[in-house]
Structure 1
Amino acid sequence: MTRLLNGPWTRLARAHWAPLAALGVLTLLTAVLAVTLPASTAAGYDRAAAAALGPAPAVRVEGKARADAATAAVPNGAAMAHHARAWASLLPPDLAEATGPGQPSITTDPMAVTGDHRPRLVALSWDPGSADRVEYVAGGPPLNKSPTGGDAGVVDVAVSQRYADRFGHRVGDRLDLTDEAAGPLRARITGLYRPEDPADPYWTAREQVLRPMTRSLGLGGEADVAAALTDQGGYTRLAAAPDRRLTYTWRFPVQPDAVGAGDAAATAAALEAYRTAVEGRTGIFPCAVESSLGDDLAAYAGRLRTARSVLGLAVGGLAAVAAGVLLLAAGLLADRLRPPLAAMRARGASLPQLAAPACALAAVAVLPAAALGYAAGRLLDAGPPQDASASAVAALAALTVAVPGAAVLRERTPSAAGRDSEPAAGRPSRRRLVLDGLLVALAAIGVALLRRRGTDAGADAGADPLVAAVPVLLGAALGALVLRGYPYLLRAAGPLLRRRPGAVAFLGLARAARQSAIGALPLAVLLLAAAMAGFTATVDAGLQRGQDRAAWSRVGADARVSADRLRSDAVARLRAVDGVTGVVPARIVPGVTTGDDPAPITLIAVDLDAYRDLAPGVPGPPATGGTLLSPAAADIVGSGPATLGRYGIDDVRVPAGAGRVERFPGQTAGGAFAIVPYGDVTADGFPAEYFVAGTGLDAAALRAAAHGTGAELRADVLRDMTDAPMVTVVHRTFSGGALIAAAFGLLTVLLVLIVGARARAETVARLRVLGLGRRQGRALALVEIAPVLLCATGAGWALGLLLPVITGPVVDLRPYTGGFAATAHFPGAAATLGLLAALLLAGTAAVLVDRAFDARRGADRRTGDRPA
């Protein structure tokens, strides 16, 4: 045991414990990131999938039929339950796993409540699920025993307490209802109820059962709509009228947690298969599947495809940075092992005798750290574990362990010992030139293929290795070009520095030009880290700009207030609201037509000059023109002058050659609308909108001041966009990736400084004998590292800024910006300051490391001292 502990490789490990420890720590950190980053991203994708389904996702089988045709198939509750089981049996496995038990209900069409009051509509519903989830505060549940027992002409119902309080109803009151198809109907209120659990998701799709809702009737009219509960006997009495129209619904709620990113495509396909199965079922009146699940999942698939494509670029580059740092640490360890390996080779040791122990020495530091990092990443529970994480950790560990073995192959002859190559001096070999040309060619081919394919390769395009490899290939190609141009930059700076007083600048460049071949790897790592930071900063800034444009386009100002009609005092009342600095009103007249084409056009009467002054940043209205037509409206109106009109307004003339407008706030993209001067429409009784400018606005106060039906704030719209789950995943991954890349870049600088600090301290000590002062030594440390830092970070930052343009259609963020292109532009001041701060930290690290090693005993030499 003693002999083993004192063996040559054990002594070598003790002698080089510092680089071994650094290699172990870097492996640990890389393994943790390899596990947590993909897991947290996958968890974010799953959360976004759940949010995309809405508050009450469901698959509904719905059929509408007259009572005389429907009661034969559904005579009672047992038949309803039987059909619920039949519909459930048709669910495809992927959809069945995501849905819960069926919830049947039968509802009449809304019926008008007669009386001298605001229009009211009430639908009678037999909903066993609702009946089981309410508690009665007055009276009791309806009890309709038979169609002829008791008062056969009256249906017993129960209404919500909020409905009764609003309209002054009590137990025993009667409602006179009018059914357009079946005639009059009388309902008696037997009880008032409230929900046992108002937060139960069951009520999200049944709000009318709990409280009256307001519904627009068109032409500015509104009605209060509610639903009253009845029982099986009430259904039998309702079905006694053969002409009564009934809606039969079997609702299968979707469990949001059951649909994740990996299940979205299969669930959408299963929904389409279920539609076909439901339409083909016989033995019941025609039914169809009604669900927004397909559209929600399709929209989510587009956002997911974009996120995977964009994040694939960032994560691929980040993985290359982490791998580069590990390889650099292993390379520096191998470089430290060269002298003893060369000595052992000179004494007759064979290459296998050197390679195996050298790899074992690295494995002692790498393998335990990799296992510990993987276990720590799993324990952090950042999200569902990804299979790629274990593969990545294993591949990086194996590659890192193999580096010292590769270094042994360089010691084929004893004369190789101590021979340094200087990439900044001499002429590159043909092998290096071929390798550099190959990297440039691969990068160009990768970019060409990526731009040709775009994001049309399907939902898995983001997981394509080609997407992740493009930044790495570009970084490697640019790094090769920078290395080729690096010597020429140093040579060009040499004559200029010789003319300066003092020798610090000249000596610093001379030492920078004499870096060993291992010095090429730090430059490549720093370049790629800067490229990733620049790329994420640029894309994030473009995303924010696109979302800001989308918010302006949707609202049209800082706020937009909608009203059922324009009021003469509304503008003055709005100006009096706190924070308001300007108001521009607009009349909205729907359904105008030309004499030649009955297609409807929405007429917008607004003072465009005042509106442009109020909100100059809104994309859409051009800088000139008083009458503007959307493309759809221009197709209807034609090229010549036209007249627009409808009942209730005077005709409006549209001159020939009217301008074009693609968008206008409040109007659907692609819709037919015309913008005319505000004075061209003077009629009242039509909807109105008020565009409001100001700060610190309150939506409720604006709505009340204008007697409005709704108010929308630009700040709220922008917040909803930026806080969307998928946008949050992209933003957090970009922010975290930029910080991780910067941290790895600084670790690279620190690692190179510390590993080379001892040799540099000896060189500086010799220069001290020649009169170099301590302050000049600190300056020399900065000058030595400055060329690599500036070349690598400058080239990498430029590549990062251009990467969104180079990759083209892959970085298409329009699903997150309401259709607006998130064009790449220079990142904000925070990113630029972050780059300067990173450079400052690197320079500070160079000075601190130089000071730490310079303070050691024996660092200074005296005349006559010999090197150790």
Structure 2
Amino acid sequence: MRIPLGARTHAGTSALLVVLTVVACLLVAGLPRTMQASFDEALRRSLSGAEAVRADLTVAGAPVLPAGELHSRAQFEGGDLHWRRLLPAALRPLIGSGGHISAKTHRTPVNETGDIRSFVNLGWLSDADRRVQWVRGRAPGAPSTMRYGGQTIPVIEVGVVAEAVTRMGLDVGRTRLLGESVHTAVKIVGVFEPRDPADRAWSHDADLLHVTRVLPADAPEELHITALMPDEGLGALANKARTLTYHWVLPLDGRAASALDVPAVEAAVAEFQRQVDVQGTGATSYRLVTGLPQLLAGFLAVLSSAQTVMYLVLGGLFAVGLGVIVLGVRLLTDRMERTLALARARGASLRQVVSAGAALTALTVGPAALAGYALSFLLPGPVLPVVHLGPAAVAVVAVGFAAARLVLTHRAPLREHRADLVAARPSARRVTVEALVVVLALAGAYLLRARGPSGTAQQDPFLLLIPVALTVAAALVTLRCYPYPLRLLVRLAARGRAAVPFLGLTRAARERSAGALPVLILLPALSLSVFAAVVHDGISTTQRLASWQKVGAPIKLTSVGNLPAAAVERVRRAPGVEQVALALTGRVQIGETGEWPYAVAVDLAQWRRVNEGAPISLPTLSGSTSALLSPALGGRGAFELRWLSPVRLTSQGVIDAVPGFYSSGQFLLVPWEVLPWPAANALLIKGDIPPAELARLVPSATVETQEAALAAIQADPLTGTVRTTMVVVTVALGAYALVAIVLSLVAGAAGRARSVALLRTLGLSDREARRLTLLELLPVVLVTAPVGVALGMGLPAALGPGVDMSAFAGGLPVADHTPGLLRPVALAAGLGLCAVLGAYVHTTMTRRRKLDAALRVGDP
């Protein structure tokens, strides 16, 4: 057999196989790249969005002896170079060239008495000239000395923020004596403010920008601030009081992170921590301070859930695509069967026949696989091993299947065989294996539900295998039970007078063995497409619920202090505002226990009107002296609440969260009536008013909207990738299911056309021919479609406890997998419509065939 001649003879079938192969290779090589690119982007956003104090690597040193003290910038910069040299290779690309060094004291008291204790710590920043600007006074200069208690003590010039001037009385020109046993004086010479308050580096040095208020349980109130001193002050900075620490901040550059390198980065951080620990001497101790391992562990947990779901659907997509290609290869080998059988009868060896058929298949599939592989490089993302292995696997399986089928078909010259037997008794071994697969699949699904999530960030093979086992079990049960309703229909049709139902169902029964492969393709295609659609809908629904839980209303306006009545009235009268509910939040004290939970007082009736039609339900309080407590507060009876004024309340029950306010920790919800006078620091608003307009009406307030919260949840790269992948997989699997129906129709087209033409010589009309073809095709769709749809709708419930998708839904568990009937019905209806259209097209094409040719061609 000449290969080019065979390619021209079967050009139509070859073209179809080429298209299927290109699409399959593009999906199997391109989707993993896109998926991995989204993983990398999610990691970069996670690291870049985290506080610098958590993501950066900070080496903290504490001098124990005077020999370990550093008194010059050059000594600190030498330490920075030393720590960078110790960085493992996996960390060096992630550490930026910036960073800064600091030296600070902590809990340095002001030597004076009063009801409030003041602490002024000394701080030096290596990049202060770049990060701060002086708005009053001047920048600090060289230190001086003064006499105190018969000793000469240093006087260090410092600057503070305006908040320290207001709250602690540290005005420009004043001198404060610090320390109790070891004294140092500071002179405030200037007031500074940050050049860029949004600079991430300030999270390391927030103590310089804000006064910290501390309420000890058995001591007076404390106010803490860190003052900024110049380089010259380092010479006078000693650790005699053991309150001095040094910090070398090595900034993390999240833009260079890759999800594939996370395990190596985790190991490198652990190694760097070990290196830092062993650098300590008798004069100085060192330790590594970072939250990077926790950030990476949290990301890996989310990544594991995303990979599990997407590898599951992508693996199913690959298997279905491969099955459709195998169905196309079978169609091609069927078309070559007469030619190869004739060559075999004329003396060609089995090797020659198989080589010819496999070569034609390779000539068709090989270039198409390369084309799909090349097209995948147009998509963004790193090149993973599956990018190379996927297209190669498609080509190898296609050629291997063609060779195996030709070997079985042409083992002997002109070997007679029949594939249209109505029933064939399976062997006991086969029945046992199939029963074992079904039992193991059901047992695995039960164990998965009983076990729940694996609790690790690694891929769970158990979770990946159970859906495959359930699909295989459902396919085996379907194939084993398929003959029984078909036989019943044949018997019922045999009792009627019409010949078309009997003939159509009889042909369907005789082609049952040839329909096994389409069933094995249709079932996973339908089940996984429905599964993807259900999961997508569940995530979307939960995302919307999470956005409402986060904001608590269509619009929420909050203020640090109480809102003036005039501001509330301006909001009420603003154009577009329909409803406004007042709320007051604050820290309260429970008299009997001394606990300090957070409280929310809100007009619940008005809040319900604001949230009319929202997916969240609001709690109900039975009286004006009732309260709902968080689980952290536990159950209790009557108790005294000290807020604006003491009030006696009765616990009505436990509430898990107050939407828009609190969802963890100690909190309670009380009715608006417990307030002794109207006060509000939060407004819950319903209406069509731009957030910018509300911010203009109340400049000191913060405005949140439910729509913005939903957009923020959906903007996460991992979340967007999961939802997009689900949509792509649903569409692709639905298309593959339709292709499987078309291929099964085309595979039997020749024999069906011959039978219809012969029956037309006996008086079969065109309408009856269409019904005959339709009755032959429909059993596969009518039996497989309900099973596939039911399995797809049941998979989320079976896998739900094992897959934590809360990271993609705003932190809420995706527990609602109640699917809409639109997509499953549309998929099943599409298959049925495809079968109907195929029957009409096939009948139209066979109408052109001459009846006298039908009598002369074919088997007698």
Q: TM-score normalized by structure 2?
A: 0.82
- Which of 389, 396, 400 matches 2:394? 396
Contact 2:143 2:232 in 1 (8 A): yes
Q: Kindly provide the CA deviation profile for residues 375-430 of structure 1, in whole angstroms up to 9, marking residues without a partner as x.
A: 332x32431111133333333322221223322224445574352234x5455554
Closer/same/farther in 2, CA of residues 771 and 473 from structure 1, 3 Å limit:
same
CA shift for structure 1 position 500: 8.3
Contact 1:317 1:468 in 2 (8 A): no
Q: Kindly provide the CA deviation profile for residues 821-860 of structure 1, in whole angstroms up to 9, marking residues without a partner as x.
A: 21243334663465266336624651574267347xx513
- Which of 799, 813, 820 matches 2:805? 813
Closer/same/farther in 2, CA of residues 723 and 284 from structure 1, 3 Å limit:
farther
CA shift for structure 1 position 301: 1.4
Q: Kindly provide the CA deviation profile for residues 25-79 of structure 1, in whole angstroms up to 9, marking residues without a partner as x.
A: 322322222211111111111111111113475424265979x988962211111
Q: Structure 1 regions of 5+ residues with no counterpart? A: 1-6, 113-120, 168-172, 220-224
Match of residue 222 from structure 1: none
Match of residue 113 from structure 2: none
Q: Which amino acid aligns with 2:580?
A: V
Match of residue 827 from structure 2: 835
Which sits farther off after the overlay, 521-530 or 606-615? Answer: 606-615
Q: Kindly provide the CA deviation profile for residues 466-519 of structure 1, in whole angstroms up to 9, marking residues without a partner as x.
A: 544433332222122222332333344446667889655554433333325232
Match of residue 513 from structure 1: 509
Closer/same/farther in 2, CA of residues 557 and 248 from structure 1, 3 Å limit:
same
Q: Is 2:850 the counterpart of 1:860?
A: yes
Closer/same/farther in 2, CA of residues 301 and 578 from structure 1, 3 Å limit:
farther
Match of residue 536 from structure 2: 540
C-alpha separation in 1, matches of 2:225 and 2:773: 79
Q: Which amino acid aligns with 1:258?
A: A
Contact 1:553 1:618 in 2 (8 A): no
Q: Is 2:513 the counterpart of 1:523?
A: no
Match of residue 331 from structure 1: 330
Q: Which amino acid aligns with 1:674?
A: L
C-alpha separation in 2, matches of 1:193 and 1:703: 24
Contact 2:33 2:382 in 1 (8 A): yes
Q: Is 2:15 the counterpart of 1:21?
A: yes
1:9-408 equivalent positions in 2, closer than 5 A: 11-55=5-49, 57=52, 58-61=55-58, 63=60, 73-101=69-97, 103-106=99-102, 126-129=124-127, 131=129, 144=141, 155=157, 185-188=187-190, 203-206=199-202, 231-233=230-232, 235-236=234-235, 239=237, 248-275=246-273, 277-278=275-276, 281-282=280-281, 288-347=287-346, 349-377=348-376, 379-407=377-405, 408=407
Give 3-state SS (helix, strand or coil) of 2:21's partner: helix
Q: Which amino acid aligns with 2:638?
A: P
Q: Is 2:457 the counterpart of 1:459?
A: yes
Match of residue 595 from structure 2: 599
C-alpha separation in 2, matches of 1:382 and 1:838: 33
Contact 1:69 1:285 in 2 (8 A): yes
Q: Which amino acid aligns with 2:259?
A: A
Contact 2:796 2:817 in 1 (8 A): no
* CA RMSD, 1 decimal: 4.5
C-alpha separation in 2, matches of 1:399 and 1:241: 73
Q: Which amino acid aligns with 1:31?
A: C
C-alpha separation in 2, matches of 1:578 and 1:562: 19
C-alpha separation in 2, matches of 1:438 and 1:319: 25
C-alpha separation in 2, matches of 1:100 and 1:437: 59
C-alpha separation in 2, matches of 1:681 and 1:218: 27
Closer/same/farther in 2, CA of residues 561 and 132 from structure 1, 3 Å limit:
closer
Q: Kindly provide the CA deviation profile for residues 299-336 of structure 1, in whole angstroms up to 9, marking residues without a partner as x.
A: 21111111112122212211210121122122222333
Closer/same/farther in 2, CA of residues 759 and 864 from structure 1, 3 Å limit:
closer
Q: Name the % identity.
A: 30
Q: Which amino acid aligns with 1:87?
A: W
Contact 2:102 2:126 in 1 (8 A): no
C-alpha separation in 2, matches of 1:602 and 1:192: 32
C-alpha separation in 2, matches of 1:69 and 1:236: 15
C-alpha separation in 1, matches of 2:172 and 2:204: 19
Closer/same/farther in 2, CA of residues 410 and 278 from structure 1, 3 Å limit:
same
1:553-564 equivalent positions in 2, closer than 5 A: 553-563=549-559, 564=561
C-alpha separation in 1, matches of 2:66 and 2:551: 47
Which sits farther off after the overlay, 530-539 or 250-259? Answer: 250-259
Match of residue 754 from structure 1: 746
C-alpha separation in 1, matches of 2:807 and 2:669: 28
C-alpha separation in 2, matches of 1:184 and 1:684: 46
- Which of 671, 676, 682 matches 2:676? 682
C-alpha separation in 2, matches of 1:179 and 1:707: 40
C-alpha separation in 2, matches of 1:36 and 1:178: 67
Give 3-state SS (helix, strand or coil) of 1:461's partner: coil
C-alpha separation in 1, matches of 2:502 and 2:254: 66
Q: Kindly provide the CA deviation profile for residues 252-298 of structure 1, in whole angstroms up to 9, marking residues without a partner as x.
A: 11121333222223433443554455456236655554433233222
Closer/same/farther in 2, CA of residues 666 and 420 from structure 1, 3 Å limit:
closer
Match of residue 221 from structure 2: none
1:583-594 equivalent positions in 2, closer than 5 A: 583-594=580-591
Give 3-state SS (helix, strand or coil) of 1:262's partner: helix
1:434-513 equivalent positions in 2, closer than 5 A: 434-448=432-446, 450-451=448-449, 454-456=452-454, 458-462=456-460, 464=461, 466-494=462-490, 505-513=501-509
Contact 1:108 1:123 in 2 (8 A): yes
Give 3-state SS (helix, strand or coil) of 1:792's partner: helix
Contact 2:57 2:288 in 1 (8 A): yes
Closer/same/farther in 2, CA of residues 44 and 630 from structure 1, 3 Å limit:
same
1:686-697 equivalent positions in 2, closer than 5 A: 688-692=681-685, 694-697=686-689
1:543-582 equivalent positions in 2, closer than 5 A: 543-563=539-559, 564-569=561-566, 571-582=568-579
Q: Kindly provide the CA deviation profile for residues 686-711 of structure 1, in whole angstroms up to 9, marking residues without a partner as x.
A: x733222x243433444555665323
Give 3-state SS (helix, strand or coil) of 2:90's partner: helix
Give 3-state SS (helix, strand or coil) of 1:651's partner: strand
C-alpha separation in 2, matches of 1:350 and 1:592: 94
Give 3-state SS (helix, strand or coil) of 1:766's partner: helix
Contact 2:548 2:660 in 1 (8 A): no
Q: Is 2:795 the counterpart of 1:793?
A: no
Contact 1:30 1:322 in 2 (8 A): yes
Give 3-state SS (helix, strand or coil) of 1:94's partner: coil
Q: Which amino acid aligns with 1:759?
A: G
Q: Structure 2 regions of 5+ residues with no counterpart? A: 110-118, 146-153, 216-223
Q: Which amino acid aligns with 2:682?
A: E
Q: Which amino acid aligns with 2:391?
A: V
Q: Which amino acid aligns with 1:574?
A: V
Q: Which amino acid aligns with 1:784?
A: E
C-alpha separation in 1, matches of 2:824 and 2:276: 58
C-alpha separation in 1, matches of 2:214 and 2:3: 88
